[in-house]
Amino acid sequence: MRALLVEDDEDLGEIIRTALTREGDTVDWVKDGQSALSALAAESFDIAILDLGLPKVPGLEVLRTVRHQGNSIPILILTAHEAIEERVQGLDMGADDYMVKPFDLDELSARIRAMRRRDSGRATPIITYKGIQLDPAAHIVHFDNQSFNLPRREFALLQKLLENPGKALSREQLTQSIYSWDEDVDSNALEVHIHNLRKKFGNEVIRTIRGVGYMIEKDGA
Ligand code: CA
């Protein structure tokens, strides 16, 4: 999963980035509201974590603008303990969830998983598809009586595909979902990950859509 972190507090930002990266997520971090708007306009993220007290453009303004543009990315806002009114405003403006500082990092991760689950229209925590069971919390994939501890990008890629059955995802979309913008990416990196996934879960799981990218068939298809 690729997350945009918007937080101007260096220490807190570093802690959150480290925690999410350890969870296997790809994180891009910006430190003001203007950069957040540019990033959201330019790239595709799976979720955004948005501090409300930000330089240049305040968090609530970022939220309002993003929703006004029709962007439905799941957004979790970070607010100060005493800022109840701000929290309420944020939720009413289209934030999906919030955390009050200081917060527990395990709870943050769990809330992010829950947001992502809702976003992909799923009620159950485990993603299942033709014998594959992907557990986002445990970072394990079960298939054919085996448990796979996949490298983090393979895991993220498989999750992205499984969350979008029946939808052709472009190479660019998929690459953006597993690499942050400051990483050098080999031109065939995505193909290598797809190849490795097919080797483990069978060739027929991921379809190549010529000239576009890849997709997983709708279950039962
Ligand atoms: Ca702040």
CA of 8 to the centre of ligand 1 (A): 5
Tens-place pLDDT, residues 44-60: 899 999 999 999 999 99
What CA–CA distance (Å, rounded) separates 24 from 94?
A: 27
CA of 15 to the centre of ligand 1 (A): 14
CA of 13 to the centre of ligand 1 (A): 10
Tens-place pLDDT, residues 129-181: 999 999 999 999 999 999 999 999 999 999 999 999 999 999 999 999 999 98
What CA–CA distance (Å, rounded) separates 4 from 12?
A: 14
What CA–CA distance (Å, rounded) separates 85 from 4?
A: 24
Give the pLDDT of residue 221: 45
CA of 21 to the centre of ligand 1 (A): 21
Q: 206 in helix, strand or coil? A: strand
Give the pLDDT of residue 123: 86
CA of 58 to the centre of ligand 1 (A): 9
What is the DSSP track for 44-81?
--SEEEEESS-SSS-HHHHHHHHHHTT----EEEEE-T
What CA–CA distance (Å, rounded) separates 207 from 93?
A: 38
Q: How far is CA 155 from the centre of its chain?
A: 12
Is 90 exceeded by the pLDDT of residue 71? yes
CA of 164 to the centre of ligand 1 (A): 34
CA of 57 to the centre of ligand 1 (A): 11
Cβ neighbours of 37 (radius 10 Å): 19
CA of 33 to the centre of ligand 1 (A): 10
CA of 73 to the centre of ligand 1 (A): 21
CA of 210 to the centre of ligand 1 (A): 45
Give the pLDDT of residue 220: 57
Give the pLDDT of residue 219: 74
CA of 86 to the centre of ligand 1 (A): 13
CA of 72 to the centre of ligand 1 (A): 23
CA of 23 to the centre of ligand 1 (A): 23
Q: Which residue has the tokens 């101007």?
A: 8
- The sign of the torsion formed by the CA atoms of 4, 7, 10, 12 equals negative
CA of 12 to the centre of ligand 1 (A): 9
Helix (H) and strand (E) counts for the chain?
8, 12
Q: Which of 17-21, 118-122, 146-150 has the lowest mean pLDDT?
A: 118-122
Give the pLDDT of residue 23: 86
Q: What is the largest CA-CA distance in the chain?
A: 54
And the tokens for 196?
A: 């490795």
